[in-house]
Amino acid sequence: MSTLKRKRWSRRYGDWFRNVLIDAGIMDYRYPIKGCGVWMPYGFKIRKNVLQILRDLLDSTGHNETLFPLMIPETSLAKESAHVKSFEEECFWVTRGGLTPLKVKYALRPTSETVIAPMLKLWIRSHADLPIKLYQIVSIFRYETKATRPLIRTREVASFKEAHTTHATLEDAEAQVKEAVEVYKRFFDELGVPYTISRRPDWDKFAGAVYTLSFDMICPDGRTLQIGTVHNLGQNFSKAFDITYETEKGTQEHVWQTSYGISGRAIAALLSVHGDDHGVVLPPKIAPIQVVVIPIPYKKKDKQINRACEGVITTLKEADLRVELDPRTDLRPGSKFYYWELRGIPIRIEVGPKDVENNEATLVRRDTLEKQTCKINELVAAVQKLLKKITRDLRQRAWEWIEDRVYRVDSLEEAKQLLSKRAGIVEVLWCNRAECGRQLEEAVGARVLGVPVGTEEKVGGKCVVCGRKADHVVRAAIAY
């Protein structure tokens, strides 16, 4: 898309996002409870493909999928003090069974550290039981009082993948944090979703964590979206729940833990980052249908055209491609193009009278809408090559988009100006003191995302707030 077109589209991104979810048959959020949406059949298939990538990555790195209960007794939630303080006002509480008031009320899980902890206490005996790497994909519930947004700020987060790991030593937990970051990088790379990774400031870390690393992406409107988090929990929960193991020397030690999560926001990111005026654009690996075949009717040639279309379908199916014919006779080809473009099908194949005559088909790629023709006997190779190219190009364009929107600036004034224009992420020098971080947030009217992770950049200079010596760059943005 041209820069100008993209700019125009970005300005109405919020409306675009809401509309496209319903129009493309992905999600309907008009349910009678605010912040709860329905995954429609087409959207559910997209969700399934996205979660399959995540499952494969976790399974292949030694994680085991499980399913823990939805409800948490208040007595469990209250055991870790920072955790309960942060979550008690955000929980939905079950207070009655039928008409009988419950003696101990139950929270609908806002996250599952305190669901899993009492079971780990029962399961873990010795160092031989460790590590334990579990995950589940479930709904979590948070009583959001701010304006809700489908997939981005919801009361039922209906596709929450949470992993919980338990280790014998701090070093093992640290190594696990690194593995989790690598898994998430590979996951987002598969979706073609670009990200920055920051270590959240202490005042914004997960309640109960020693520290939190966060993946953020920039939405088309210049606001950032947190799309994944990795927490080192240290021994905070194991001490609160007294989860211990016997070491090789025979002593009892508390275990070390991590947790990390990804939600439906990953799908919001995927749709937002690749979308355009015509609708969503799906990377081929995610698309429930990779190729749609559309006959272009022409008087007296319809029989040959339909036969050619069926040939195309058979050939592509044999090559394990997800392909579908649009045989509808009540719609003109133009309306069909529009229909499938809205749904983001990576390749459209048109077969018209000229194509039949030349033993060809016309391929149109969804991301650029460029056309090419191809001989029927070379179709499979051409389609596979084009799908690969689309995957690569989507990822590259998305990364260029985010890289153009990260600004290193020297003054608060510059930072403020960029953020007031919703330019993206600003990076400034920081002395690492919370006081200055808070002042920075106030001065630029934005949120501190944290210190960059993975770029071991040594910086020299002065804190943009207090003028003291700074060793760190810190990022700030207007965040969702």
Q: Which residues are near Zn ion by CB under 5 A?
A: 431, 436, 463, 465-466
What is the nearest approach in angstroms of Zn ion to the Cβ of residue 461?
11
Q: Distance between CA 220 and CA 418 in Å, rounded?
A: 15
* Cβ density class 175-188: b for 16+ within 10 Å, e for less: ebbebbbebbbebb
What is the nearest approach in angstroms of Zn ion to the Cβ of residue 436?
3
What is the nearest approach in angstroms of Zn ion to the Cβ of residue 458?
18
What is the nearest approach in angstroms of Zn ion to the Cβ of residue 433?
5
What is the nearest approach in angstroms of Zn ion to the Cβ of residue 448?
12
- Select 56 or 442, whichever has its Cβ closest to Zn ion: 442
DSSP string, 376-445: GGGHHHHHHHHHHHHHHHHHHHHHHHHHTTEEE-SSHHHHHHHHHTT--EEEEEE---HHHHHHHHHHHT
Query: What backbone phi and psi angles, to 5 degrees, belong to 128?
Result: -70, -20
- Select 194 or 437, whichever has its Cβ closest to Zn ion: 437
What is the nearest approach in angstroms of Zn ion to the Cβ of residue 474?
10
Q: Distance between CA 95 and CA 101 in Å, rounded?
A: 6
What is the nearest approach in angstroms of Zn ion to the Cβ of residue 70?
44
Query: What backbone phi and psi angles, to 5 degrees, belong to 206?
Result: -60, 135
Distances (CA, A) of 295 to 298, 304, 307, 349: 9, 10, 10, 8
What is the nearest approach in angstroms of Zn ion to the Cβ of residue 171?
32
Note whether 444 and 428 are within 8 A (CB). no
Q: Distance between CA 110 and CA 129 in Å, rounded?
A: 28
- Select 71 or 459, whichever has its Cβ closest to Zn ion: 459
Query: What backbone phi and psi angles, to 5 degrees, belong to 438?
Result: -65, -45
- Select 27 or 465, whichever has its Cβ closest to Zn ion: 465
- Select 233 or 463, whichever has its Cβ closest to Zn ion: 463
End-to-end CA distance of the chain: 25
Q: Which helix (H) or strand (E) holds 292?
A: strand 291-295
- Select 116 or 436, whichever has its Cβ closest to Zn ion: 436
Peptide bond before residue 131 is cis, with ω within 30 degrees of 0 = yes
Note whether 473 and 480 are within 8 A (CB). no
Q: Distance between CA 432 and CA 466 in Å, rounded?
A: 11
- Select 134 or 428, whichever has its Cβ closest to Zn ion: 428
- Select 312 or 431, whichever has its Cβ closest to Zn ion: 431
What is the nearest approach in angstroms of Zn ion to the Cβ of residue 446?
17
- Select 233 or 470, whichever has its Cβ closest to Zn ion: 470
What is the nearest approach in angstroms of Zn ion to the Cβ of residue 473?
13
Note whether 9 and 220 are within 8 A (CB). yes
Please name the residues in contact with 101: beta carbons below 8 A apart, sequence gap of 6 or more: 95
* Residue 345, CA atoms < 13 Å, CB-side half-sphere: 25
- Select 36 or 436, whichever has its Cβ closest to Zn ion: 436
